[in-house]
A = this chain, B = another copy of it.
């Protein structure tokens, strides 16, 4: 009495990853549903049956991206084998290494959609708040150790660093080479010591 019917022939998370990359490279508006079909290898029916709409698919892709990025970044920030300043440096190094060429889906979405889609703007703000809090905690620890300059509020320092990371990503998308990005990151750390 419980026929389970035809199962899916694709993996939902893999499809989500493919869609995420498509949005990442071309942005929300410039990625058509046809592009999404080709990127995922799925037919229109499968996409709409699974993800409801292009916007909903984008929101899921965005949260997947944020979760993955934050997991990696928080792992570096919580690495107890390094000092706070070294952790911050590791985060910046990773940004420089990762963002070579294409930018960052979070920054791209902030620029493209935050002013127009309040729901997405709210998700981005939650994400930013999380990153700020974790960064601020590490900076405060560095200040207690005396490793990081104590003249400023750790929240202000965190806002500064998050802004610099956005700036690095914009610079990368604008064509800056890796050496230039490394210069930016290294100079940014001068403000902490």
Instruction: Let me know if A187 and B30 touch, CB within 8 A.
Output: no
Copies of this protein, total: 2
How many Å lie between the Cα of A167 and that of B180 in the bound state? 16
Which segment of A47-55, A67-75, A152-160 sits at the interface? A152-160
Residues of A contacting B: mostly = helix
How many Å lie between the Cα of A162 and that of B110 in the bound state? 19
What are 14 A-B contacts defined by CB distance under 8 Å? Answer: A25-B115, A27-B112, A108-B111, A110-B170, A110-B174, A114-B175, A151-B190, A159-B187, A163-B168, A164-B167, A164-B188, A166-B170, A170-B170, A188-B191
Q: Tell me how far the C-beta of A181 lies from the nearest C-beta in chain B, rounded to whole angstroms.
A: 8
Complex partner residue of A167 from B157, B170, B175, CB under 8 angstroms: B170
Q: Tell me how far the C-beta of A171 lies from the nearest C-beta in chain B, rounded to whole angstroms.
A: 5
Report, as a range, how many residues of chain A touch the other chain.
35 or more
Complex partner residue of A175 from B121, B163, B183, B191, CB under 8 angstroms: B121
Instruction: Let me know if B116 and A173 touch, CB within 8 A.
Output: no
Nearest-CB residue, chain B, relative to A160: B187
Complex partner residue of A187 from B114, B171, B191, CB under 8 angstroms: B191
Nearest-CB residue, chain B, relative to A125: B175
Check A100 for interface membership: any CB of B closer than 8 A: no
